[in-house]
Structure 1
Amino acid sequence: MRLFKSLHQHVTPTGIYAVVMCLAGAGVFAYTNQWSFLQYSSSEWVTVYSLLGAVLILEYFTFQLPPASNKQSMDSSVYLACIFVHGSEIAIFILFLTSLIAAIRDYKLSWWKHLINFSIYALAIFAASTVFQLAGGPQGPLDDRYIAGYVLAMLSYFAVNTVTLGLYFYLAYEGSLKQLRRAFVAESLLVYLCTLILSLVLTVLIYHNGILGLVLFLGLSMLLSHAFKQLFDMFRDVEEKSIMDRRTGLYNHSYFENVLESELSAARKDKLPLSLALIDIDDFKKYNDQFGHLKGDQLLGFLGNLLKKETEGTPITASRYGGEEFTLLMPGYTAEQAYNVVNRIRKKLNDSRYEGVEIFPHGCLSFSGGISEYQAGIYDKSQLVDQADKALYYAKHQGKNTIHLFGSFNATEREIDLAQDVRDIEQQLSLFLYKDISTFKHSKRVFKYAMDISEVLGLGQEEKRRFVLGALIHDIGKLEIPWDILNKREKLTPEEWTLVQGHVTWGRRIVEANERFEELIPFIELHHERYDGTGYPYGFAGEEIPRLCRMLTVIDSFDAMTTERPYQQAKTFEQALEELRACSGSQFDPELTRIFIRYIKSTHPVFPHIRSLH
């Protein structure tokens, strides 16, 4: 039993694949060759050596195609031409000799990998030869009457090679079928098309011109391989220039945005930590004004080199964000781990000797940094950047040359900030007093509900701050809706209703113009999303909608139902709660709906007889 368990633990899909492929390759070699090479004539050995040399030369001239394909070579054209002229026996024997030489040359590579490589190509050659024979293709000179046989043989070779090699990578590296299709089909199609044409050309040259034809073919193939290599190098050079910042040698802003989006998706899918650090050189303008822009650019390059050196060999992506700001994107790092990394770099910069540091207040080079960590409620990359920027703002206001974690503000800072933010948002909402006083009063009531619910949910101070401010400002986009529609007493037409729905988008634009409140955008934009995915503007469903936005939807709807509106009668609290229950699981999050109903009942002891207090 123990032996069985031990064997079972070591049996993997990759291992089974390796055994099956090795047995298949050995079987094909034994079936096609049967030790006939021991009776080869001198002329046959000359053919074998010539074709073997051609394969080795073409293997040396490997190349890649843009954007990022696997390494390719044109040695397959030699094997195919050999099938067409001499048959599969010699083709597989040449493959066998090539594999032996590769095993000796790359002795550090596991022997079974060499054997699998041999088996894959042996199966491809055997399949191509079999199909060619079934199509009636004759061995010898190229016969245009059997062009379909040549094409079918090439397609068989391509199919077997692609499927067997792709299956190995799928099992070994747990890739996706979509990735394999792109890597082994789409990216290799041009190379295999060239291989087909070249194999037919080589068939003509070998049959009619012998060694000279083979030499001419090699010259053409080497030139093509070199051209492909140059094309790939040129592509890589252009690609690198498009994603790199010339002054610092780091990645540029565009590349950072792309990587941030992909890393954010990975963190959301795999539930892994992801942190972002935004750093800003302290008093950079003072240095620029004192020593000029050329020296300022050199200082940017100095910090860029330091960041590159300190993050080398790690998954951290260092980028220049713009001006004197830089980003460090840290997949797999919690906020605390990111803090340790960034703080270590800050101290190293402090200790670095640099010309002109005496003009700085700290007497050394320094930067301030803000760090934010991905949380479940973040649905857009701009939110993570906004949080890091907010933390950077606090680091600057704490005297610079320090690192601040988003959400780690002390109690006094939080209370002062919240009070000031509420005043500033109320000042913006006061515009409703002349346009739609109902929306102004509604926003204030939803804000009060959110304050209470924050305690019920046990929110942390930073979450509470965002939630209550988001509740206060959620309808700011209605400022863009015409007065006659906002105050219309009749039922809205479909066109008018579409206009009203646009308030979530207009609200986002209004807040984007004031970067200070960008972190509140989810509450503005998503408070009309529905739990079942039928809401607007994106049709998010379930946990795709941030939790506090789902809570705001419940609060917003409850207050709307229990308040007199131009186009509807107010419901009693009892009727409104019944409506919440009825829509739980469709419009509203069931768990949050139950929490809100318990809150309302506990807040009003005489419930359900009390009517709306509004």
Structure 2
Amino acid sequence: MFKKRLITQQQIPGLVGTTVFCLLGTLLFLLHMRSLSLEYTSADWLLLGSMLAASLVLYMYTFQVPPDGSKQSMDSVVYLACIFTYGSAASLVMLLVSAVIFAFIERKLAWWKHLLNFSIYSIMISGAGGMFHLMGGRLGYLQNVHLPAYVGALVAYFILNLICISLYYCLMYRNRDNLYALLKGLLRESMLVYLCILILSLVLTIMVVHNGVTGLGLFLGISLLLSHLFRMQFGMYQQVQERANTDQRTGLYNHTYFEQILDVQLQQARNTGKPLSLAMVDIDDFKKYNDHFGHLKGDRLLGLMGQILKEESETAGISASRYGGEEFSLLMPGYDTQQALEFINRLRKRINDTPYEGVEIFPHGCLSFSAGISGYKPDIHDKSLLVDQADQALYGAKKQGKNTVQIFGESQPVQDEQDIAQDVKNIEQLLSLFLYKDIDTFKHSKRVFRYAMDMSKVLGLDPVSRKQFVLGALIHDIGKLEIPRDIIRKQGKLSPSEWETVKKHVVWGKEIALIQEQFKALVPYIELHHERYDGKGYPHGYQREEIPLLCRMLTVIDSFDAMTSERPYQNTKSVEDAIRELRACAGTQFDPDLTELFIRYIEARQKGKALPAADVNLLYAGSPTTS
């Protein structure tokens, strides 16, 4: 029984584009065959046969050019020289014979790819020949008076080359790049090669006309030499790039390269919706080993760790990097957090079972590491957030006694209430600066903090998320310290320019928080609490799940308190009026589910009832984390 191969909606543009290219190339070939002349001398036949052989050799001797390693060959020189000497029809026949020979040699390649390659070359040759004829070019000897025709033909050839290849990739791989980016990339990578081919095609025309097969032989030698030099250039470029991207002590990627590929993988995760996980790995008690045995043996231990990570990651499609010191990063495209956990635990077991000199000084009696895992979610807009989450999970794994793995937001150790109290005290000291400038903002922050404490119980947050949520609520307006006093205390409506100044407080607050390490995890609450569910908020215009869930919750709380407390620039609403306003704006300004949950909490509190439990479905992806 034959299985039907279904064609997806995404494949249709590629199939249509391929068909159009093939039909157009074949039609142009057939049109030129009407003007084909076979009235050549024996010397011409010998020369044409030699040119065919030269094109085959040059096509086989491909090379790559940096930075992306796109493949190039010098066979276009022969086709162009044939156009200038014998015309487009002869060049197309040479192309046909060459395509048939390569279809026989490379039988593993799909037939339609051979046809597509032939068609694209046919379009390019037809375009170049048409431009040459249109601009008054004459076959045979290279004539200075017709130099613009030669240049026009060459330009047409390469413009068609760029357009055809770019259109093909855009149609076949729509998520890869747009047409402009592809054109720009191909032109940047291949400009030197294009210039060489442009000059060599004119040189070959002169050598073929004046020296026949001998001239062609000399040209072939020069072209092969240049192709070899391009190969060497790309090889040296790869060596330099590899050294620039590799940590010499461990053989893994270095921190700089990790930053680059993390940007790329995050963008791909956004575009495709495929999972992406990041693991931060830290060798347990490495300082103790260094102090006991010295740095040389410590470096060897790093080398062993790098070797094992490289072996395991290469077979699993994972990018392993040395993050710094004894810390490593594993970037895992296509892995969700549970799959990443399984991989890291297998890796941890292998490390535990690897004998190494001096392991008896370790508490576990073996080599070990701790690791933290974070997973990409739609609300992660900056790579630093993914890294920070993995670092926090790593810290949790260390606190659990090391030689273990933690996923951010799951199975984290319970936070000491005294730690939270100390953080609250530190933030309140910072907020006390409002007392001289705007006591209303100070009081507002304290009220929002108390609402957040209650809502953290309603939502059933884990200790880490609860701590970040309540501290974020307390510090969310810290950027208002930068707003001029005459604006922040103005009675009445703000002018448009004054309102623009007020809106900057989220950016100023972010900058203040980033200065102190303990506040970095609170940045999303500071920066995003004025984003709207419909995407019309500020500063970024994020919408729906692009806004972290707990930031969406903070927006509801912040707005409710702003409506029900006395503010200099707006009227105070009753609780009932504020609830009506929240419901009216649910689905536009506010997350409708979180809005209704908060309203139930307010109504229960008004009646002196117990706090309502949250619907677990609200906590997307199983984790109510913020960033």
Question: Could you state the TM-score of these two structures normalised by the residue count of structure 1?
Answer: 0.86
What is the percent sequence identity of the aligned residues? 55
Equivalent positions of 1:545-560 (< 5 A) are 545-560=547-562
1:564 is matched with which residue? 566
Q: How far did residue 184 of structure 1 move? A: 4.4
CA distance 1:22–1:544, shift in 2 (3 Å): closer
1:66 is matched with which residue? 66
User: 2:64·2:72 contact (CA, 8 Å) conserved in 1?
Assistant: yes
Distance 1:453 1:59 in 2: 68
Per mean C-alpha deviation after superposition, the further-off stretch among 594-603 and 24-33 is 24-33
Q: How far did residue 58 of structure 1 move? A: 2.3
1:466 is matched with which residue? 468
Per mean C-alpha deviation after superposition, the further-off stretch among 52-61 and 23-32 is 23-32
1:202 is matched with which residue? 204
- AA in 1 matched with 2:277: S
Ranges in structure 2 where 5+ consecutive residues have no aligned partner: 609-627
User: 2:372·2:393 contact (CA, 8 Å) conserved in 1?
Assistant: yes
Specify which of 324, 327, 330 is matched with residue 329 of structure 2.
327
1:98 aligns with 2:98: yes
2:135 is matched with which residue? 135
Distance 2:475 2:25 in 1: 69
User: 1:478·1:503 contact (CA, 8 Å) conserved in 2?
Assistant: yes
Per mean C-alpha deviation after superposition, the further-off stretch among 591-600 and 365-374 is 591-600
- AA in 2 matched with 1:445: R
Give the secondary structure class of the aligned counterpart of 1:538. coil
1:253 is matched with which residue? 255
Distance 2:541 2:154 in 1: 48
Distance 1:75 1:583 in 2: 65
Per-residue displacement from partner, 1:492-531 (whole Å, max 9, x unpaired)? 7888766654543343344334434422210011113344
Distance 2:477 2:184 in 1: 45
Distance 1:572 1:426 in 2: 31
Per mean C-alpha deviation after superposition, the further-off stretch among 9-18 and 463-472 is 9-18
User: 1:422·1:469 contact (CA, 8 Å) conserved in 2?
Assistant: no
CA distance 1:488–1:165, shift in 2 (3 Å): closer
2:344 is matched with which residue? 342
Distance 2:33 2:282 in 1: 70
Distance 2:177 2:484 in 1: 51
CA distance 1:269–1:249, shift in 2 (3 Å): same
Give the secondary structure class of the aligned counterpart of 1:312. helix
Distance 1:461 1:386 in 2: 17
Give the secondary structure class of the aligned counterpart of 1:368. strand
Distance 1:561 1:443 in 2: 14
- RMSD over aligned Cα atoms: 3.5
Distance 1:263 1:36 in 2: 52
Per mean C-alpha deviation after superposition, the further-off stretch among 237-246 and 294-303 is 237-246
2:625 is matched with which residue? none
1:426 is matched with which residue? 425
CA distance 1:186–1:430, shift in 2 (3 Å): closer
2:619 is matched with which residue? none
Distance 2:444 2:23 in 1: 75
1:443 aligns with 2:445: yes
User: 1:529·1:537 contact (CA, 8 Å) conserved in 2?
Assistant: yes
Per mean C-alpha deviation after superposition, the further-off stretch among 436-445 and 158-167 is 158-167
User: 1:80·1:199 contact (CA, 8 Å) conserved in 2?
Assistant: yes
User: 1:383·1:518 contact (CA, 8 Å) conserved in 2?
Assistant: no
Per-residue displacement from partner, 1:131-177 (whole Å, max 9, x unpaired)? 32333321111122223322332233334444444444444444443
- AA in 1 matched with 2:130: T
CA distance 1:17–1:303, shift in 2 (3 Å): same
1:610 is matched with which residue? none
CA distance 1:471–1:21, shift in 2 (3 Å): closer
Distance 1:372 1:249 in 2: 24
Per-residue displacement from partner, 1:186-223 (whole Å, max 9, x unpaired)? 53344333322221222122112223332333343334
User: 1:370·1:406 contact (CA, 8 Å) conserved in 2?
Assistant: yes
Per mean C-alpha deviation after superposition, the further-off stretch among 495-504 and 59-68 is 495-504
Q: Paired residues, what number?
A: 601
Per-residue displacement from partner, 1:23-49 (whole Å, max 9, x unpaired)? 665665566558989876431231023
Q: How far did residue 302 of structure 1 move? A: 1.0
1:392 is matched with which residue? 394
- AA in 1 matched with 2:423: D
User: 1:379·1:546 contact (CA, 8 Å) conserved in 2?
Assistant: no
2:370 is matched with which residue? 368
Equivalent positions of 1:54-453 (< 5 A) are 54-174=54-174, 175-178=176-179, 179-409=181-411, 413-414=413-414, 416-417=415-416, 420-433=419-432, 435-436=434-435, 437-453=439-455
Q: How far did residue 71 of structure 1 move? A: 0.7
Distance 2:114 2:533 in 1: 54
2:614 is matched with which residue? none
Distance 1:510 1:325 in 2: 28
Give the secondary structure class of the aligned counterpart of 1:187. helix
Distance 1:499 1:167 in 2: 46
Q: How far did residue 565 of structure 1 move? A: 4.1
CA distance 1:43–1:372, shift in 2 (3 Å): same
1:609 is matched with which residue? none
Per-residue displacement from partner, 1:400-457 (whole Å, max 9, x unpaired)? 11112222236xx43x445532442233313434642544432221122223334555
- AA in 2 matched with 1:74: M
Give the secondary structure class of the aligned counterpart of 1:421. helix
Give the secondary structure class of the aligned counterpart of 2:121. helix
1:600 is matched with which residue? 602
Distance 2:5 2:373 in 1: 48
User: 2:276·2:332 contact (CA, 8 Å) conserved in 1?
Assistant: yes
Per-residue displacement from partner, 1:249-306 (whole Å, max 9, x unpaired)? 1111122222222322332333322211111011111111122222222211110111
User: 2:36·2:90 contact (CA, 8 Å) conserved in 1?
Assistant: no
Give the secondary structure class of the aligned counterpart of 1:529. coil
Distance 2:36 2:485 in 1: 94
Question: Could you state the TM-score of these two structures normalised by the residue count of structure 2?
Answer: 0.85
Ranges in structure 1 where 5+ consecutive residues have no aligned partner: 607-614
Per-residue displacement from partner, 1:545-572 (whole Å, max 9, x unpaired)? 3232122122112212322345666433
Specify which of 530, 539, 542 is matched with residue 540 of structure 1.
542
Per mean C-alpha deviation after superposition, the further-off stretch among 424-433 and 182-191 is 182-191
Specify which of 507, 511, 524 is matched with residue 509 of structure 2.
507
